[in-house]
Amino acid sequence: MDATLLLNVEGIKKTILHGGTGDLPNFITGARVTFHFRTMKCDEERTVIDDSKQVGHPMHIIIGNMFKLEVWEILLTSMRVSEVAEFWCDIIHTGVYPILSRSLRQMAEGKDPTEWHVHTCGLANMFAYHTLGYEDLDELQKEPQPLIFIIELLQVEAPSQYQRETWNLNNQEKMQAVPILHGEGNRLFKLGRYEEASNKYQEAIVCLRNLQTKEKPWEVQWLKLEKMINTLILNYCQCLLKKEEYYEVLEHTSDILRHHPGIVKAYYVRARAHAEVWNEAEAKADLEKVLELEPSMRKAVQRELRLLENRLEEKREEERLRCRNMLG
């Protein structure tokens, strides 16, 4: 098919290489679009810049979600499922491609934990780099040029047809997701699946932190969210204790107590972490603070003090044996 102006959008030409099936999909806001792509220069060699098939993973974007390269949404919404099309895009549409390409390459190299998904609109980031870390992308950023995209549309899913990641949810959906994630975390913790539980708690914390940025600090709604966040962080710390990551527990609990010195559970969890790394005085001080703030926790505090004394006695006995062996 001859190249034709696409949807009367300036600076884009489309050539269909392989026709798709069925009607044009319903590209509603929130729909997830899965596709393969190859990006090429417009030189004689049609030099390949990126190819998702070589990486082994297709791309996903969410319609209406401020994807870094907005033109891709325009291109994709002109396609049918299984269609393969070639798009020529002028410089006005390709200026930020080097930034996108850098993100995709880093993800493919395992330098980013989010696989082949780009979650944020990073236009402003392009000014933060003297180099993108890839010679061809530095050249492309220095001298922007038209690019060719060959795209194969694999799948279009309505928002109800896939499990949306939390970064993808609107504010109301984030708030609704928090108690579900919290409950899932608690269930997994009781089953001894601490790594999975900690991931659920972290996901809920991210939702709340995102919502909190939209509130004025220290006002009622901000404080309400802060209280929920602290509860989840302390649950996350319980997972860290089980995974023997004691210094991270000390960091999180100390940060909570710097801002909110009256949270009893934070002192209790921190005391347990101090005890594990032989900080006897700090552990006892935190347990005393627990008793001061919550006398009803006396039994729990006494149990922790006994455990601490037993461990310290074991350590002292080990040191005595070591000294005797050295002298002997």
Q: What is the number of alpha carbons within 13 Å of residue 259 lying toward its C-beta?
A: 12
For residues 88 and 110, membership in a common domain is answered with yes
Intra-chain end-to-end CA distance of the chain, in Å: 92
For residues 40 and 134, membership in a common domain is answered with yes
Classify residue 125: in a domain, yes or no. yes
C-beta of residue 25 within 8 angstroms of C-beta of residue 80: yes
Q: Are strands 12-18 and 4-5 parallel, antiparallel or unpaired?
A: antiparallel
For residues 16 and 61, membership in a common domain is answered with yes
Classify residue 290: in a domain, yes or no. yes
Burial 200-217 (b: 16+ CB within 10 A, else e): bbbbbbbbbeebbeeeee
The predicted-structure confidence for 247-276, as pLDDT tens digits, reads as follows 999 999 999 999 999 999 999 999 999 999
For residues 133 and 211, membership in a common domain is answered with no
User: Quick count: other Cβ atoms within 10 Å of Cβ 4?
Assistant: 11
- Structural domain including 300 reads 171-309
| Nearest CA among 47, 273, 246, 40 for reference residue 150 | 40
Q: Of the residues 157, 190, 223, which one is the last residue of a structural domain? A: 157
For residues 183 and 298, membership in a common domain is answered with yes
CATH number at residue 68: 3.10.50.40
C-beta of residue 172 within 8 angstroms of C-beta of residue 206: no
Q: Of the residues 101, 127, 157, which one is the last residue of a structural domain? A: 157
For residues 292 and 175, membership in a common domain is answered with yes
For residues 176 and 149, membership in a common domain is answered with no
Classify residue 302: in a domain, yes or no. yes
For residues 183 and 124, membership in a common domain is answered with no
pLDDT at 249: 95
Q: Which two tokens stand for residue 95?
A: 């200026």
For residues 70 and 121, membership in a common domain is answered with yes
Classify residue 256: in a domain, yes or no. yes
Report pTM: 0.54
**Which DSSP category does 21 fall into?**
B
Classify residue 322: in a domain, yes or no. no
For residues 39 and 121, membership in a common domain is answered with yes
Query: pLDDT truncated to tens, each residue of the chain (328 aa)?
Result: 444 556 678 899 999 999 999 999 999 888 889 999 999 999 999 999 999 999 888 998 888 765 668 899 999 999 999 999 999 999 999 988 998 898 888 877 765 433 333 333 333 443 444 577 889 998 998 889 999 999 999 999 988 777 767 666 778 878 988 998 999 999 999 999 999 999 999 989 988 998 998 899 999 999 999 999 999 999 999 999 999 999 999 999 999 999 999 999 999 999 999 999 989 999 999 999 999 999 999 999 999 999 998 888 887 888 788 887 877 6
